[in-house]
Amino acid sequence: MIHLYDYVLSGSCYKVRLFLSIIGKEYEERAVDYYPGGEHRTPAFLELNPLGQIPVLTDGAVTLRDAQAILVYLAGKYDAGRSWYPEDPETQGAIAMWLSFAGGELMNSSAARLHDMLFYDFDIHKVRAAAHAAFRVLDDHLTDREIDRGDWIVGDNPTIADIACFPYVALGGDGGISLDDYHAIRRWMSQIKAIPGFTIMPGIHAT
C-alpha cells in the first residue's frame, strides 16, 4: 500500500494526490501536522526526509521525497499506457525541463502563498514579481502550444509536466498573484479540470 505523508493545504502534496486520483491508484494518507505544529521539522520526520519537507511517499521498500520525483516514479510504475511519462528521450527531456520549472521558478507562487496565509517570512514583492515572471513564461509557452492546437505543456496528451505545474499556478490567487493577464494559462487550467479523476484542494475551484 502506498503511504503519502501529506498536509491538506500543501500544493506540493496535492500534485501527488491529484495524480493518484487521476490514475485511480489507492493510497493511505499519513497526515503531517505541518501547521501550526511544524512536525516536518522534528527529528522523527527528518529520518524520513532530511530536507524536512512534504510530500514523502512510501511504496513497499521505496521511499521518495520531492513531488516531481514522486510523479516520475508513479507514472513509470503505474501508468500502463505510458502516456503520463512517455519513454522517448525527447519527451522525457521536455518533461524534465518543466518538472524542474515546477520545483523551481513556480515555487515563488508557493512562497507568496505561505507568506500571505501562514506568516512565512519572505520578501513578498520579490517573490510575487518572480512568480509573475514564471507565469508569463508558462503563458507564452501555452499560447504557442494553443496556436499549434496543443492543449498540454508537452505533447498531445497530458503528462506529469502538467500535473507538476498546475497546483502553484492555480493557487496563485492565494498569494496575491492574479491570473487575469494569462489567457492561455486559464484555458489550460480548464483543460486539466476536465480530466477524469480530477480532484480539488482548498483554493482551487472544480471548474
Partner 1 sequence: MAKTNDPVALNDWQAIGNLDEIQSGKRRNTRLLGQEIIVEMDGDRPYVFEANAAGGMGREHPAQILYGHIWTTLGKPEKPPLDMPEFLEDKRRLVSCGAVTVRASALRIVENFLDMSHFPYVHTGVLGEEPITEVNDYKSEIRQPDDELWATECSFFQPQAAMSAEDGQVSEYMYRVSSPFVTVLYKTCPAVEGAWDLVGIFVQPRDEAVCDVHTFMLVLDDLSTYTALVHFQHKIFLQDRSILENQLPKGLPLSVGEETAVKADGSSMLYRRWLRQKGLKFGTWQGDRDSQAA
Partner 2 sequence: MPNQFPQNAWYAVSGSPLLDWGNIMPVRLFDTERIAWRDGDGEIHVWRNQCIHRGMRLQYGFIDGNRLACRYHGWRFGPDGKCALIPAHPDMAPPEDFCVPSSPSCEADGLIWTTIGEPAGPPPDLSEFENLTFCRSIAIDTAPETVQAAADIARFVPFGAGHTDSACSSRRAATGVVALETSGASSPQAVVLAIQPVDAGKTQLHVLANAQIADTDRGALRRHYAAWARQFRWHIENRRRIEAVRLPESLPAPESLPV
Output the smallest distance, CB 145 to partner 2, in A: 11
Q: How far is residue 186's CA from residue 180's CA, in Å, rounded to a whole number? A: 8
User: Hey, what's the cell of 80?
Assistant: 500502463
Q: Is 9 in the site for partner 1 (CB under 8 A)?
A: yes
Residue 112 amino acid letter: A
C-alpha to C-alpha distances, 34 to 7, 12, 188, 196, nearest whole angstrom: 7, 13, 30, 30
Q: Is 8 in the site for partner 1 (CB under 8 A)?
A: yes
Task: Name the binder of 187 from partner 2, partner 1, none, CB < 5-8 A by kind.
Answer: partner 2
Q: Where are any strands of DSSP class E within the chain?
A: 2-6, 28-31, 56-59, 62-65
Contact map string, positions 58 to 97, toward partner 2, x by CB under 8 A? ----------------------------------------
Q: Which is nearer to partner 1, 7 or 85 (CB)?
A: 7
Task: Name the binder of 129 from partner 2, partner 1, none, CB < 5-8 A by kind.
Answer: partner 2
- Which residue is it, cell 509557452? 141
**Based on the number of CB atoms within 10 Å of its own CB, is 172 exposed (0-12), middle (13-18) or buried (19 or more)?**
buried
Restricted to residues 168-207, the positions that interact with partner 2 (CB under 8 A) are: 180-183, 186-187, 190, 205-207
- The span of 56-64, 69-77, 86-94, 169-177 binding partner 1 (CB under 8 A) equals 169-177
Q: Is 173 in the site for partner 1 (CB under 8 A)?
A: yes
Task: Name the binder of 69 from partner 2, partner 1, none, CB < 5-8 A by kind.
Answer: none
Q: Please name the residues in contact with 49: beta carbons below 8 A apart, sequence gap of 6 or more.
A: 5, 40, 56, 65
Name which of 156, 15, 190 is nearest 86 in CA terms: 156
Q: Is 206 in the site for partner 1 (CB under 8 A)?
A: yes
Task: Name the binder of 174 from partner 2, partner 1, none, CB < 5-8 A by kind.
Answer: partner 1
Name which of 112, 146, 105 is nearest 127 in CA terms: 112
Binding site for partner 1 (CB under 8 A): 7-9, 31-33, 35-37, 39, 116-119, 173-174, 176, 202-203, 205-206
